[in-house]
A = this chain, B = another copy of it.
């Protein structure tokens, strides 16, 4: 197994550039990933050949666009093994999907004194919607805490989820700690108490094989742009019976059955939740991204990332004064690695690494309650995707060492 030969790099023009006169090492994949030529070409082809609005059109171009769009829906369905394409709702992104569920299912089903249970490590997108819903309804918001190793505390979960719990909203993979949530166990606990489980899959779907039926989750949201699709497209999966019982989220074209002056009726799923002109080209691009991922195979992708983590995490931990958050064992860690250098602010670290061509993020990663929990205001974060290489990892490690030296000596 040779990780230094990267067969994929040639597909990613954005990765083949220099920044600050250094080879770009892009390690902000948890924020957004780069797109292969194949996905960009799918966009170009759509716009140059089939571009039209869908569903309503009788003419040839509209038929083609409709076919493209609905085929993309089926690709998504198969990719996450949803029972039916009607359960795949195209959204603007993961945030949009989670807000949709909170504003429809949540609004309809949460009453005062009900409980909503989330994780302390949630991204703001899967935290604030529930926090504000709880506030509005007079319901309680409860947080499942972490084990000392930074993993989800299942014992705490069993305590926090009770018969009063109506919604369990959890991230599938943390965008800070690099942990994967034991979803199946949580789903079982939630269902035992009559609650639904709503999953933020933004950091999972791009990196591992996800099967919504095997996990037995009720809702599952994710973003296309973190799995190489164009921006502005995402997916919400929901069980058909739940989706059918929910009111619409937005009102407009395409989501109606019949509109009169004073009343309206709604279309069946998924259209009930797709008001207005959708990002058709974005959906087509997402389909192309799924094709690309399937061509490699999600298992192979997970394995490539595992090898990278096995390689880089011990090296990172070995640097004096570097603290890595979340599990210290590579086996328990995804390609998302948050860290700090003692005495240095992560913003300064990120600027310094950028001078060495290494793009990492610094900040609270939209997880302020987790930062509070960890007792920091911010961290640096390097996040890997399958197209990264051991060479990238080495450049990161070297740049961190140089950064430490620079700030210790005050100049280079």
Contacts and interface: CB of A to CB of B under 8 A. Distances in A.
B26 A231 contact: no
A349 to B, nearest CB: 9
Interface stretch (A146-154, A277-285, A305-313, A314-322): A277-285
Nearest to A20: B60
A87 to B, nearest CB: 21
Bin chain A's interface residue count. 35 or more
A95 B252 contact: yes
Given A57-B359, A360-B59, A251 B40 contact: no
A58 B149 CA distance: 29
B28 A53 contact: yes
B231 A276 contact: no
A14 B49 contact: yes
Nearest to A260: B369
A58 B369 contact: no
Interface of A: 13-14, 17, 19-20, 24, 26, 28, 31-32, 34-35, 40, 43-44, 47-53, 56-62, 92-96, 98-99, 102, 123-125, 127-129, 131-132, 135, 141, 143, 223, 225, 230-233, 250-254, 256, 258-264, 275-282, 347, 350-351, 353-354, 358-363, 366, 368-369, 372
A35 B47 contact: yes
Given A47-B40, A60-B19, A95 B275 contact: yes
Say how many copies of this protein the assembly contains: 2
Contacts of A278: 231-232
A24 B52 CA distance: 13
B361 A57 contact: yes
A125 B252 contact: yes
Given A57-B361, A58-B354, 10 more contacts: A31-B277, A56-B363, A59-B358, A92-B276, A95-B253, A99-B275, A102-B251, A124-B252, A141-B262, A252-B366
Nearest to A39: B47
A350 B56 CA distance: 11
Give the residue among A43, A58, A102, A253 with the most B Cβ atoms within 10 A.
A58
6 contacts: A28-B52, A56-B363, A99-B250, A124-B251, A141-B262, A259-B368
A277 B95 contact: yes
Contacts of A92: 92, 96, 232, 276, 279
A231 B280 contact: yes
Nearest to A100: B250
A253 B125 contact: yes
A352 B307 CA distance: 59
Contacts of A282: 231-232, 279
B281 A95 contact: no
A223 B99 CA distance: 21
